[in-house]
Amino acid sequence: MLRTIRGFGILVLIYFAIAHGFPRPESLKPESWRLFALFVATVTGLVLQPIPGGAIVFIGVTMTAVVGGLTVTSALGGYADPTVWLVLVAFFISRALLNTGLARRIALLFIQWFGTTTLGVTYALAASDMTLASIIPSNSARSGGVTLPLTRSIAELYDSRPGATAGRLGSFLMVAVYQSICVTAAMFFTGQASNPLAAQMAAQQGFTITWSSWLVAGIVPGLVSLAAIPFLVRWMYPPEIHRTPEASAFARGELAKMGPMSPNEKILAAVFVSVCTAWATSGIHKFDITLTALLGAAALLITGVLTWHDVRTEHNAWDVFIWYGGMVRMGKALNDSGVTRVFAETAGAWFADFTWPLFFVCTLLIYAYAHYGFASISAHLLSMYPPFLALLVVKGAPIGLVAYAFACFANLSAGLTHYGTTPSPMFFAQEYVSFRDWWRIGAVVVTVNFLIWGTIGFGWWRLLGIF
């Protein structure tokens, strides 16, 4: 209780300090300035979390109708946004993937095919997470439901457990697999819950990002990073075991226990492939991707693969729906009221002597390494993505380059610490890797990822005409 009171006290002080202490730009109305103060306090609340983040945003949305100049109808408008519903429905489909066992079957198939070496096991687990990231927007669900349990199981096949035997295999796998899932989160529109929010913010600046365009942008640098990470981690943190034929045999045994695909798995597989195909080809047939997801979920409900009880009890989905819809609306309101434009023009004047390429590199590095101070990709992106995006656009930087770079680097930077995103404490809590080694390896791997995406990635985006 004391922590909650103290946390809310800080948020109230932040609101009043900005709304009534700082000078208001003449071009902004008083309610617009109060809305900005409320937004800053809400984002700070997502970082400090005196109460859960969804509850913080719920209060923030409510207060926009009290002090921010929005009507109740307008304040709640974010919950009618199609992208918010796309994320919600993707969570429902992911629940079906976990409940039916299809997600685990996909991962076991990759391990069976490629898991005869330590590098192969890492690639297999990364490939399974990459496949699931195409439709599951929760990296914690992918890790907690599929990737981490299989990683631990394979380590224990070789009697590699926390303590004296951790270095036999488990330490390497925990670090290499975790660093890989940070990359898969950056590769897809649905790789992580806040990625669609970055797309929304880019759209407010006039740049459209779709599921298929993010896939095309992320696939080349992502695959290069996924190929490099296991070698880099093995060089820095070599396991004692290099051949793992038992892992492939374990996967075959687990698949045998599961038996042939059930009717529900077959239906779900058909829906999974259909939805992803429709998303990937949306530029051709122009069919709305949210409607595609809704139809996919409806098919699962009709066939009983997904039950209404599953929908009602998918707590993570509804939590994301609340905070995501609220933040979408608050961000749009800030843009419509001119706050974003005023910030960009004012801050841009401070760096008038910087060319946009130099300014872009400096701000991108500051933005990326600032993740040492964040325990959430979403909080990082919400607090820093909008102002940097607006500021760089004013400086003349190509909006496509800025939009993708800052969105992807937020995901990549989660590998820096053992608290960078929800799966990181899950992996770190297995106690295979020390605090020192986790941070040491994370700093090197993330820096290499930045170099890969900043060279090969930017070159690929140039070829695509993104900038």
Looking at the structure, do residues 349 and 422 belong to the same domain, yes or no? Answer: yes
C-alpha closest to that of 89 among 296, 309, 319: 296
pLDDT for 229 equals 97
Quick check: is 428 in a domain?
yes
Q: Is the model's pLDDT at 370 over the cut of 80?
A: yes
Q: Is the model's pLDDT at 1 over the cut of 80?
A: no
pLDDT for 434 equals 94
C-alpha closest to that of 331 among 264, 386, 406: 386
Looking at the structure, do residues 33 and 142 belong to the same domain, yes or no? Answer: no
Q: Is the model's pLDDT at 416 over the cut of 90?
A: yes
pLDDT 10s digits, 122-170: 999 999 999 999 999 888 889 888 999 999 999 999 999 999 999 999 9
Q: How many CB atoms lie within 10 A of CB 209?
A: 22
How many whole angstroms separate alpha carbon 467 and alpha carbon 462?
6
List Cα–Cα distances, 253 to 122, 142, 245, in angstroms. 19, 22, 12
Q: Which range has the worst mean pLDDT, 1-5, 91-95, 241-245, 253-257?
A: 1-5
pLDDT for 72 equals 95
Q: Is the model's pLDDT at 347 over the cut of 90?
A: no
Quick check: is 30 in a domain?
yes
pLDDT for 287 equals 86
How many whole angstroms separate alpha carbon 190 and alpha carbon 197?
10
Average pLDDT for 37-64: 91
Looking at the structure, do residues 125 and 263 belong to the same domain, yes or no? Answer: yes
Looking at the structure, do residues 50 and 151 belong to the same domain, yes or no? Answer: no
3 state SS for 206-263: CCCCCHHHHHHHHHHHHHHHHHHHHHHHHHHCCCCCCECHHHHHHHHHHHHHHCCCCH
Quick check: is 315 in a domain?
no
Average pLDDT for 355-372: 92
Quick check: is 311 in a domain?
no
Q: Is the model's pLDDT at 352 over the cut of 80?
A: no
Looking at the structure, do residues 101 and 245 belong to the same domain, yes or no? Answer: yes
Domain membership of residue 301 as a residue range: 76-306+338-464
Looking at the structure, do residues 163 and 235 belong to the same domain, yes or no? Answer: yes
132 backbone dihedrals φ, ψ, rounded to 5°: -70, -30
C-alpha closest to that of 403 among 326, 467, 323, 330: 467
143 close to 423: Cβ distance less than 8 angstroms: yes
Looking at the structure, do residues 19 and 133 belong to the same domain, yes or no? Answer: no
How many whole angstroms separate alpha carbon 449 and alpha carbon 464?
20
Looking at the structure, do residues 8 and 120 belong to the same domain, yes or no? Answer: no
Half-sphere exposure of 307 (CA within 13 A, CB side): 5
Looking at the structure, do residues 18 and 111 belong to the same domain, yes or no? Answer: no
Quick check: is 27 in a domain?
yes
Looking at the structure, do residues 31 and 136 belong to the same domain, yes or no? Answer: no
* Structure token pair of residue 215: 């896939």
pLDDT for 316 equals 86
pLDDT 10s digits, 213-227: 999 999 999 999 999
If you average pLDDT over every residue of the chain, what do you get?
A: 92
Q: Is the model's pLDDT at 402 over the cut of 80?
A: yes
The count of structural domains within the chain is 2
Q: Is the model's pLDDT at 53 over the cut of 80?
A: yes
pLDDT 10s digits, 267-299: 999 999 999 999 988 878 888 889 999 999 999
pLDDT for 260 equals 96
Looking at the structure, do residues 89 and 53 belong to the same domain, yes or no? Answer: no
248 close to 108: Cβ distance less than 8 angstroms: no
Looking at the structure, do residues 169 and 239 belong to the same domain, yes or no? Answer: yes
Average pLDDT for 27-44: 92
